[in-house]
Amino acid sequence: MGNRRTIRRFREERRITKLISFIFIFGGSLFGSGSYEILFFPHDARSLSLQNSVSAFDSPILRNNPAALSMHSDGMVYSYLYLPANIHSGEIQRIHRSGKGIKASRISILNYGAIIDSKLEDKTYAFDILLEAGYKKELKNITSVGISGGYLFSTISGFHSQLLFSNIGIRSRMLRKRLGVGLSMENIGFLLKSYTDVKEPIPMLFRMSLFYEPRYISLIISGDIIKRLDDNTYYFAGGLEFKPQSRLTIRLGNSSHRGGYITDDFSSDVIAGISGGAGFRFTHTTLDVGFMNLGPAGFIVGFSLLKKVD
């Protein structure tokens, strides 16, 4: 009896290890990251349309570099993204002034959906839940420093993982704030519990960001160079934000991962790996929509609603 339980447990661990690998490889093909995908995921529509770049320019919400959080932000943000394979992402974020700085807190959920074992006829679920809080302060209206920290809980078919993480960043602007540079260390973490006896590394990043806003055209040109410290690899992501009028923003993004979506079919390769979107600003509300083309895998689409709090 004991041997049967041991064999069944061994088979379950092999099955879940394969499942974890599948989810991580699937996520890595989307965003080039690997394990603990939610740490890299573009949770809002603006980030999605810009390939999770533009990390030095003012952001209305807490993102990669906490030092880029805008001092003028105030309100609630609600975001929803739909991915291929019926994967869903949702986030709620609160931003408010606190003394001479600004604070933000968020909860994010990445739901991979139901997992059914055809042999055992068991139905389980896979999802990630992330809690994070951040603080940013400006020094003499030129340089900003920011820090954030959070907790991640991940479960796949009854196997759980937990970790603590933090992001630290700095951002400086010059030329009357038309040029900016940002540096950040991201996913500095401590693993509390791994899925199985095989521990997944926490993928730390070093990010260098740059933006430029030309004087005579309402355009923001941005680019991020990211180095993964766990495997010593680099990738690039960039974006453009054009504002033809004060209440409309048009966005376009691309990254060095685009080559992974090419299939030698010209009709589909033209926009493979490309992302884009638009922002619509009203008196007390901003609506952002975005998409990312994953080539043969399909599209990610997302919506975000920012509501100012009186």
Q: Tell me, what CATH number does 227's domain have?
A: 2.40.160.60
Asked if 49 and 277 touch (Cβ cutoff 8 Å), the reply is yes
- What domain range is 163 assigned to? 2-307
User: Backbone phi, then psi, for 2, in 5-degree steps?
Assistant: -65, -40
Asked if 90 and 232 touch (Cβ cutoff 8 Å), the reply is no
Structure tokens that stand for 204 in this block = 């730390």
What is the rounded distance in angstroms from the CA atom of residue 210 to the CA atom of residue 180? Answer: 6
Amino acid at 45: A
Return per-residue pLDDT of the chain as tens, 310 residues: 545 554 445 444 444 444 444 444 444 445 544 568 788 888 999 999 999 888 999 999 999 999 999 998 899 999 999 998 888 999 999 999 988 899 999 999 999 887 766 566 677 778 999 999 999 999 888 899 999 999 999 988 778 899 999 999 999 999 989 999 999 999 999 999 988 777 778 889 999 999 999 998 999 999 999 998 888 889 899 999 999 988 999 999 998 877 777 777 655 667 778 899 999 999 899 999 999 988 877 889 999 999 987 6
3-state secondary structure 166-203: EEEEEEEEECCCCEEEEEEEEEEEEEEECCCCCCCCCC
Tell me how crowded residue 3 is: count the other CB atoms within 10 A of its CB: 7
Nearest to 224 by CA among 53, 14, 108: 53
Partners of 162 in the beta sheet?
Answer: 153, 193
| Entry pTM | 0.84
What is the rounded distance in angstroms from the CA atom of residue 28 to the CA atom of residue 38? Answer: 11
What is the rounded distance in angstroms from the CA atom of residue 299 to the CA atom of residue 295? Answer: 8
Q: Give the number of domains in the chain.
A: 1
**At CB < 8 A and 24+ separation, what contacts does 286-289 make?**
286/60, 288/44, 288/45, 288/46, 288/49, 289/45, 289/49
